[in-house]
Structure 1
Amino acid sequence: MSAVRARWPRLDRLPDGGFVVAASRARRYEDSNQVQVFDAFGRETSSFSVGDAIEHLLVDEAGHIWVGHFDENPAGIRRWSATGRLIWTSDDAHIPGLFDCYALNVSGTAAWACPYPDFPLVEIRPDRIDRPVRVWENRVRGATAVAVRGDRVAFYGGYRDEQDRLAHGELTETSVEPTDVGLLTLPDGSVLGRRRVVGRGSRIYIQAEPFTEWCVFDLSS
């Protein structure tokens, strides 16, 4: 069993039963150890750096590591192999703004994002040659998680009194058209308070304080 070194960690499971842990803030002298990859027995198999200011870290079904950065790192969104090889970067993807990756979702081998300041909905499929990135205009501001199923989408979160907002929409050719808005609560009807949020496919996973269990909102239900 190897030691986890990350402070303020981001982590996810790998398809082979292993897992990846990354320090969300990278100090220069720790760069080579920022991301640790472990096998199913807890043994460290590789370590590398993906850059400071990690907002989101998600692993897709192919074992690629998607990283979305907040505004202290201009790297935007990148996809890495589990051995630290940079596979895709948003540098030349023509994504509007992308000063801060507010929301990131991984579905299959694709990623969906909602970046600050214009908050477009962005679909990223690096393996698609003809159209690897699609962008839809979006009027929902400040969402911290997104779920997508077919042409339906849900945005969770927002600014100030909209932190528990759940906004639904449908995809047209160029934009997200709002269809409904509500309030996301815990199963007993109470408000969430402090929480962790993860978007994956059609689901948004929420872990509210005291952080002992996960609740799931599923756009397909």
Structure 2
Amino acid sequence: MPRQYDHQRVLATTVDAWGRALWLICPDAELRPSSYGRPHPQPRTSPYDALLVIDSGGAIREHSLHDVSLRVTDLDALPNGRFILQGYGATEDQNAQIYCTDGRRRHSFAIGSAVEFLMADRRHQIWTAYFDEGVHVDPISAAGLVRWDSGGNQRWRYTPPEGIEYIDTVYAFNVDDDVAWACYYPTFPLLEARTNGEIRLRKTPVVAPAGMAVHREQIMMLGGGRQPDRLHHCRMTEHEALLVEEACLTLPNGAPLKRCASPVGRGRHLYLRGTSPRQWYVTGI
């Protein structure tokens, strides 16, 4: 994130389908304790105005969003200059909100609870993957993986083939145009879900990966077990992903990758950050 924003609190960050880094900033935010670990920035008032900082290959652009009523945990960019926010604080039927180019909210809808990943592609598709606290209690989240159009209408939800375990928690996720890839607990199959409704499941040699990059028949999976820095390069066949080689991923300065917060998989690229939301790294196939 550019240094001129160092004093600002980051509510949420991601890398979008165009490879741009996004940071949502609230000038009037404060750090508050969290039962899930580190304190999180939260706006002092609601609704509030937020600043979206966009880094596109070093070109910085600001975009103001007005009257935000969510404590935002996820965001992404949509085609035609729109953005989607997801979080807490609004009513259950408004926990996802779409903003247009003028920075005003145009649509709100219920996107389910316990969202582990929210990612959009360049073709008006929004994918949401969930973890167990939502899967077992929320009708929307129960499928574990849901696809929406960019107007917030549900278009598809995952139903596993007979004999395959349902999704409990999605551990690793990747979205490219017209396809999403997920690896999920409890059995960690590799799920390929296409926007035409076709799905395919493959066995993988990696248990509990944290992220993945996919390009044609190649897949690179990060982590697994208790090895957060382990890269597994695999070749996909019709029914499984076969391990080709392994390596250890380090930061650009050679330091070990000890912890990775919410990797973002975009096709052949895997975007990573450490404990700070202010800097993204990229690796891939």
| TM-score normalised over the length of structure 1 | 0.89
Where do 1:116-135 residues align within 5 Å?
116-127=185-196, 132-135=198-201
Where do 1:40-55 residues align within 5 Å?
40-55=101-116
How far apart are the structure 2 equivalents of 1:96 and 1:202?
27
Q: Partner residue of 1:97?
A: 166
Q: Of the two, which has the highest radius of gyration?
A: 2
Selected match of 2:94 from 33, 44, 47: 33
Q: Partner residue of 1:182?
A: 247
Which residue identity does 2:104 align to in structure 1? R
Contact 2:220 2:284 in 1 (8 A): no
Q: Is residue 154 of structure 2 the alignment partner of residue 86 of structure 1?
A: yes
Q: How far did 1:73 drift?
A: 2.2
Q: Which runs of 5+ in 1 are unaligned?
A: none
Which residue identity does 2:209 align to in structure 1? A
Q: Residue 191 of structure 1: SS of its match in structure 2?
A: coil
Change (3 A) 1:139 1:89: same
Q: Which runs of 5+ in 2 are unaligned?
A: 1-64, 136-141
Contact 1:194 1:209 in 2 (8 A): yes
Selected match of 2:118 from 33, 57, 82: 57
Which residue identity does 1:85 align to in structure 2? N
Which residue identity does 1:21 align to in structure 2? L
Q: How far did 1:207 drift?
A: 1.7
Q: Residue 111 of structure 1: SS of its match in structure 2?
A: strand
Q: Partner residue of 1:168?
A: 233
Q: How far did 1:32 drift?
A: 1.9
Q: Partner residue of 1:12?
A: 76
Change (3 A) 1:92 1:140: closer
Q: Partner residue of 1:109?
A: 178
Q: Partner residue of 1:202?
A: 268
Q: Deviations over 1:172-195 (max 9, x none)?
A: 121110011122111111123443
Q: How far did 1:93 drift?
A: 5.3
How far apart are the structure 2 equivalents of 1:158 and 1:191?
16
| TM-score normalised over the length of structure 2 | 0.70
**Which range moved further: 188-197 or 110-119?**
188-197
**Which range moved further: 107-116 or 204-213?**
204-213
How far apart are the structure 2 equivalents of 1:96 and 1:135?
11
Q: How far did 1:92 drift?
A: 5.4
> Aligned residue pairs: how many?
212
Contact 1:4 1:21 in 2 (8 A): no
Q: Residue 72 of structure 1: SS of its match in structure 2?
A: helix
Which residue identity does 1:82 align to in structure 2? S
Selected match of 1:159 from 225, 229, 234: 225
Q: Is residue 70 of structure 2 the alignment partner of residue 21 of structure 1?
A: no
Which residue identity does 1:133 align to in structure 2? I
Q: Is residue 139 of structure 2 the alignment partner of residue 71 of structure 1?
A: no
Q: Residue 123 of structure 1: SS of its match in structure 2?
A: strand
Q: Residue 73 of structure 1: SS of its match in structure 2?
A: helix
How far apart are the structure 2 equivalents of 1:93 and 1:65?
23
Higher strand share: 2
Contact 1:70 1:99 in 2 (8 A): yes
Q: Residue 199 of structure 1: SS of its match in structure 2?
A: strand
**Which range moved further: 4-13 or 63-72?**
4-13
Selected match of 1:136 from 202, 213, 216: 202
Contact 1:193 1:209 in 2 (8 A): no
Q: Residue 3 of structure 1: SS of its match in structure 2?
A: strand
Q: Residue 16 of structure 1: SS of its match in structure 2?
A: helix
How far apart are the structure 1 equivalents of 2:257 and 2:275?
8
